[in-house]
Structure 1
């Protein structure tokens, strides 16, 4: 088996299983524009979706996307029997995930920020402005957004809403004041809904990276994924993908992704 650069793809290990199957199975939440979104008819699009397609091309197989969710993400990755080979989307690299599973190198810099109504942009200029009992903060369940809100906002009223992709409209319509989100996600909603603002976009509360998540014991697949990411950084295609989705490219200097 040969990849698109003509380098031999290993015939043993996890990659060999994928080649024999003839398709790469990729878990994704499909609720995180512009990284991973599932349209009503079932088609997926997004930055992470295109990254997964690049990896499948490198192996030389087709790709099938498998639904997962933020509350069940880790359990789904480690499920036996496996339902997918790795997960991709808005998955932040964390020490706990790296301890329990395998995570690739980062391919997208990220950080926590907020969405609010455009009329409230001046009202919310810091975490202290948000951390008040009268402020309703809406988050999706089971992910790092909820974790951040519960750790950092002890006074605000936190509401968990099951569908992540619907929270921006909930805020715009006045059902909540603030959404805890990421600098990767917030600009898309602001560009597509004039009712919304992301006043703290340039000063995120946290700094991190997004990567590919997979179960332990798949070191050959992890090495291939990292090789694809490194190649895309080197040849400029990762920067172009950032530009396509309106995302800030953070890999010009080595220290940029180690904040």
Structure 2
């Protein structure tokens, strides 16, 4: 009996120690300065998408992610850390980007992420760096001309889980049914196979898809305003300030305009001047 009591006491002590150490670790991680760590390592780790043409898409030829968000991250890194600063990239999706940020796997998210009040409760955002708006993509010859044509009972529309496009669409077309897919590649395939009448998300993303997939087009214009921001963990105000200051510099020196024109200047139907505002 004494041995059992001694064993239970030891086990309780060990459990308490584990909890204390875990708590300390969590506090330390939360209180760490992302900016200071980046300056010490001369590297900022960015979460970017790899399935979104124009913004972040994996190039199978050299296994690197390329796009507007990637180039913006590189330019911001140079502004924040100096000419020798390095931008490192980790692939994220709409579902994984915030968990990866919270776990400390990445320093910041630059991945077509719209600034919303709900997300601002969980992360802090930089000033917006791109003005997008939600729209629709349909197959050529479709009778769908605008979001109003989809507000019918039984009509199925495609969207991506974790993006705010589902909630936005349901506000303007409450009678329609939304089928949520895991990523844009699956959503596009579902549209091609006839599982939905249209695919809805930000117009910049859709225009990239349409440019890569002849026979599909973006219709109806934007029915929402979707300003993209860079997300960082709560409590990292100095880092947010540095990002905002860097964005101002990029606009002043013409680098921002160069990046916008590189990725969107030749995309039919895309108003890059509106995106710059």
Q: Tell me which interval the TM-score lies in, with the shorter structure as reference length.
A: 0.7 to 0.9
Q: 2:207 aligns with which of 175, 187, 194?
A: 187
Q: CA deviation at 1:237?
A: 2.2
Q: CA deviation at 1:173?
A: 4.0
TM-score (norm 1): 0.82
Aligned to 2:144: 124
Aligned to 1:152: 172
Pairing of 1:145-224 with structure 2 (within 5 A): 145-201=165-221, 204-224=222-242
Say whether the 8 Å CA contact 2:133–2:226 is kept in structure 1.
yes
Aligned to 2:254: 236
SS of the residue 1:245 aligns to: helix
Instruction: Describe the superposition over 1:198-254 as per-residue Cα deviations: whole angstroms up to 9, x where unpaired.
Output: 1123xx1111311100001212211111112111222222222222111512377xx
Q: CA deviation at 1:134?
A: 4.3
Q: 2:113 aligns with which of 76, 82, 91?
A: 91
Say whether the 8 Å CA contact 2:132–2:275 is kept in structure 1.
no
Q: CA deviation at 1:114?
A: 0.4
Say whether the 8 Å CA contact 1:172–1:196 is kept in structure 2.
no
Which is richer in helix?
A: 2
What value does the CA root-mean-square deviation take over the aligned residues?
2.2
Say whether the 8 Å CA contact 1:108–1:249 is kept in structure 2.
no
Q: How many residue pairs are counted as aligned between the two chains?
A: 236
TM-score (norm 2): 0.77
Separation in 1, partners of 2:167, 2:96: 15
Aligned to 1:245: 263
Q: Which of these two proteins has the greater Rg computed from alpha carbons?
A: 2
Pairing of 1:36-55 with structure 2 (within 5 A): 36-40=56-60, 42-55=63-76
Say whether the 8 Å CA contact 1:91–1:210 is kept in structure 2.
yes
Q: CA deviation at 1:13?
A: 4.0
| More moved, 34-43 vs 107-116 | 34-43
Separation in 2, partners of 1:13, 1:142: 28
Separation in 1, partners of 2:118, 2:178: 24
Aligned to 1:75: 99
Separation in 1, partners of 2:226, 2:170: 19
For structure 1, the residue ranges without an aligned partner over 5 or more in a row are 1-11
Separation in 2, partners of 1:114, 1:225: 32
For structure 2, the residue ranges without an aligned partner over 5 or more in a row are 1-31, 265-269
SS of the residue 1:198 aligns to: strand
